[in-house]
Amino acid sequence: MLRMLRPLLIAVAALGLLLPAASEARMKSTKLPDGTCSTTGGGKVVDLPGFPGERIDRRLLTDIKWLQKRYPMFVTDGYSNDGVHSPNGEHPLGLALDIVPDKANGGTWGQITELALFAEPKQNQPRAPFRWVGYDGDAGHGRGNHLHLSWSHSTVTKPGRLARTVYTIKCPKPPAAQQEPEPNPGGTEAGQVKHPDSPSTGGIKAKLAPVVAESGGVGVGG
Ligand SMILES: [Zn+2]
């Protein structure tokens, strides 16, 4: 009996060694009934193309491109641990943007207002997948200051970790299709894929993190 079990045990042990690496690398996206997308795994903070110095969870890159096409914008902040942002908000997760008009290219506050209304047609009722939208009617935000967009995500239990599941307008490209440079200088802590301590949650039914309103951000002259 033992002789028969041994190969099986070895196989199970080998699988156990292989699984964490495989699941960390894997980005699994599922289109939701409302047309938005749920992506589990594959989180990584990367440079935001077009905005030197700004970084973001790579799972938002497709959404940001999509939004930029429709609403010309200038990003003043993305991934950030700056004290100006709420520590429980989405900036430290790389899942938030602070946005002002792209004035160098003729951008206007009217365009930013349109984007704000797209993301939050009614005050405090953001459209999926947005978690919190800071604009007119929110302290420290609004026309002439900045627009804040947060994307929905699963609960992150420990600081410095990225969200296991992220919700987006469009499904992100899997990492293999993006030729991101590696390693990522300065991104040692949050730049790696880390999971909340719940190995049992393999599905897409991630528990949403509570909404956190930002009190400040990076706007015009800020
Ligand atoms: Zn913000």
Q: Residue 210 has what pLDDT?
A: 80
The rounded percent of the chain whose pLDDT value lies above 70 is 73
What one-letter code names the amino acid at 33?
Answer: P
Question: What is the Å distance from ligand 1's center to 96 Cα?
Answer: 6
Q: Which two tokens stand for residue 146?
A: 């900045």
Q: What integer is the mean pLDDT of 57-79?
A: 98
Per-residue confidence band for 218, with pLDDT thresholds at 50, 70 and 90? confident
Angle, CA of 1, 6 and 25, to the nearest 5°: 145
Question: What is the Å distance from ligand 1's center to 153 Cα?
Answer: 16
Question: What is the Å distance from ligand 1's center to 90 Cα?
Answer: 8
pLDDT exceeds 90 at position 13? no
Question: What is the Å distance from ligand 1's center to 129 Cα?
Answer: 16
Q: Residue 200 has what pLDDT?
A: 39
State the burial class of residue 51 (Cβ atoms within 10 Å of its Cβ: 0-12, 13-18, 19+): middle
Tens digit of pLDDT for each residue in 197-212? Answer: 433 333 445 578 888 8
Question: What is the Å distance from ligand 1's center to 214 Cα?
Answer: 6
Question: What is the Å distance from ligand 1's center to 141 Cα?
Answer: 9
Question: What is the Å distance from ligand 1's center to 37 Cα?
Answer: 22
Per-residue confidence band for 7, with pLDDT thresholds at 50, 70 and 90? low
Q: Which two tokens stand for residue 150?
A: 């947060």
Backbone φ and ψ of 119, nearest 5°:
-75, -30
Question: What is the Å distance from ligand 1's center to 135 Cα?
Answer: 10
Question: What is the Å distance from ligand 1's center to 120 Cα?
Answer: 15
Stated as kind and residue range, the H or E segment containing 19 is helix 2-25
Question: What is the Å distance from ligand 1's center to 147 Cα?
Answer: 7
The rounded percent of the chain whose pLDDT value lies above 90 is 64
- Rounded distance between C-alpha atoms, residue 83 and residue 87, angstroms: 7
Q: What is the DSSP letter of 171?
A: P
Tens digit of pLDDT for each residue in 25-36? Answer: 589 999 999 999
Question: What is the Å distance from ligand 1's center to 44 Cα?
Answer: 19
Q: Residue 213 has what pLDDT?
A: 85
- Rounded distance between C-alpha atoms, residue 9 and residue 105, angstroms: 63
- Rounded distance between C-alpha atoms, residue 121 and residue 48, angstroms: 26
**C-alpha Rg value of the chain to the nearest Å:** 19
Per-residue confidence band for 117, with pLDDT thresholds at 50, 70 and 90? very high
Question: What is the Å distance from ligand 1's center to 198 Cα?
Answer: 28
Secondary structure of residue 148 in the 3-state scheme: strand
Question: What is the Å distance from ligand 1's center to 209 Cα?
Answer: 17
More confident residue, 143 or 159: 143
Secondary structure of residue 81 in the 3-state scheme: coil
Tens digit of pLDDT for each residue in 87-115? Answer: 999 999 999 999 999 999 999 999 999 99
Per-residue confidence band for 158, with pLDDT thresholds at 50, 70 and 90? confident
Instruction: Give the Å distances, CA to CA, from 135 to 63, 65, 98, 181.
Output: 19, 21, 10, 34
Neighbours of 104 (CB within 10 A): 7
Q: Residue 192 has what pLDDT?
A: 42
Q: Residue 219 has what pLDDT?
A: 87
- Among 1-10, 37-46, 79-88, 130-139, which is the least confidently predicted range? 1-10
Question: What is the Å distance from ligand 1's center to 128 Cα?
Answer: 18
Question: Which residue has 């942002």 as its token pair?
Answer: 85
Q: Residue 205 has what pLDDT?
A: 52
Question: What is the Å distance from ligand 1's center to 193 Cα?
Answer: 23
Question: What is the Å distance from ligand 1's center to 202 Cα?
Answer: 30
